[in-house]
Amino acid sequence: MFKHILIATDGSDLATKAVATGLNLAKSLGASVTFVTVTEPRTNLVPDPAQVSSPADEYETSLTTTAMAILTSASAEASKHGIPCDAVHVRNDFPAEGILKEAESKRCDVIVMASHGRRGIARLVLGGEALRVLTNSAVPVLICR
């Protein structure tokens, strides 16, 4: 069935549940896994205090350090279960687009990710990365909540 699973994670508690679900699926199917975390492009429209107080190089280093910690943790979980995995940090892209591009480039059969399940105006204002992945994916998407 599925031979290569893309698991998207941002390191949140909810995403950690998606990692566990994706790993259980991979183990039951004998599939390999690619973990992906995406860091968005820097914007100056609404500056983050961390961006204002530190130079661009320090900001990028901070993003990379955080992404690597997320991916290292996920990869360690895969290793505990004997699941072969790869880990990718997609820089300067929007989450849905980065996830979809990575799934295509790695030829993944399914995408596993979390959704916060926001509704109404919150979904409109905050966006819906899971919804964007779900509606634009060429492969099945498993949404964990």
Domains of the chain (ranges plus CATH)? 4-144 (3.40.50.620)
What does the longest C-alpha to C-alpha distance in the chain come to?
49
Per-residue model confidence (pLDDT) at position 114: 93
Strand-pairing partners, residue 142, are 112
pTM: 0.86
Three-state secondary-structure class, residue 85: strand
pLDDT tens readout for residues 8-33: 999 999 999 999 999 999 999 999 99
Per-residue model confidence (pLDDT) at position 125: 45
Whose tokens are 């399940």? That residue is 117
Res. 116 pLDDT band, cuts 50 70 90: confident
Res. 60 pLDDT band, cuts 50 70 90: confident
